Structure 1
Amino acid sequence: MRRDSKLSSILHVLLHMAQANRPFTSEELSSFLDTNPVLVRRVLAGLRERGYVGSGKGHGGGWVITCDLHTVTLRDIYEAVGSPTVFAMGNRSEQPQCLVERAVNQALASAFDEAEALLIERFKDVTLADLSASFNRDYANHRGTLHEHPKPVD
């Protein structure tokens, strides 16, 4: 089953933007994720509407991070990318009249809802600045070797 990595992907590019403190083209950002620039632009457009990023056209233009890393949380970004489904697991619905299936579904739905609520609540405790600080620590400890991305092929 395919996982929705939109939140992880956009956090990845936001940290690159914050670290470099310069405009990035959609093509550059998409190369970090090995994805299509159009997909990156679509997601960033939603973040631009909330004031987290800005964009400029023309020579020297591109996407820049415009928010305060200390106040924007994972939950803010999670909501900005459309609050994707947290769990890939779900309930069966092939036999809705079956009492066993109903009991199982009710128990699982309750557990899934509780777990999702806890996770999303935890997202409020982690800021983009926290992620940036974690990256900076790891970068210093590994002398920068983990930060390299392959260059796009022309």
Structure 2
Amino acid sequence: MSANSRMTIAAHALIWIGLYQRRGNEVATSEQIATSVNTNPVAIRRLLAQLQQAGLCQSRRGAGAGWMLSRDLASITLLDVYDVVGPSPLFAMHPATPDPECVVGSGIQPAMRTVYDGVEGAVRSELAKVTLEALLRDVLAAH
């Protein structure tokens, strides 16, 4: 099973836009962002469109078209990004209904749901602690 990279790409794109704006640029093009991410600009536009619907960024059309942040990096958390592009839920029950006459089959889903709810809560709690501003600081420090 492969991991979902949409959250990493979304955070990358938003942080890139934020840094680009700090350096005196008004809007960033999807082509510029895609170059940094090393992906197709169409993929970036699709992802940014989702982030725009959530109020994290906005687009400008026409002359000087591009993307800009709707909020400051310090006010955007990884949880905000996760809520837009993250897998929901992290884990799922298998699609077939287990045998209700089996002791394991009848109890596995409620038991697993309790574990999964705890994991989801822990993930959300950790993501809420990290702002994109903090990630930008880490990125710049690593560079």
Fold agreement, TM-score > 0.5: yes
CA RMSD of aligned residues (A): 2.3
Deviation at 1:93, TM superposition (A): 5.0
Contact 1:73 1:125 in 2 (8 A): yes
The equivalent position to 1:117 in structure 2, one of 96, 121, 130, is 121
Deviation at 1:90, TM superposition (A): 4.2
Deviation at 1:12, TM superposition (A): 0.8
- State how many pairs are aligned: 137
SS of structure 1 residue aligned to 2:74: coil
Structure 1 residue 43 corresponds to structure 2 residue 50: no
Quote the sequence identity (%).
Answer: 29
The equivalent position to 1:138 in structure 2, one of 117, 125, 142, is 142
Any stretches of 5+ residues in structure 2 without a counterpart?
none
Deviation at 1:114, TM superposition (A): 0.6
TM-score normalised by structure 1 residue count = 0.73
Matching residue's letter, 2:87: P
The equivalent position to 1:85 in structure 2, one of 64, 84, 88, is 88
Contact 1:9 1:33 in 2 (8 A): yes
Matching residue's letter, 1:44: L
Matching residue's letter, 1:8: T
- Using the alignment, how far apart are the partners of 2:12 and 2:82 within structure 1? 13
TM-score normalised by structure 2 residue count = 0.78
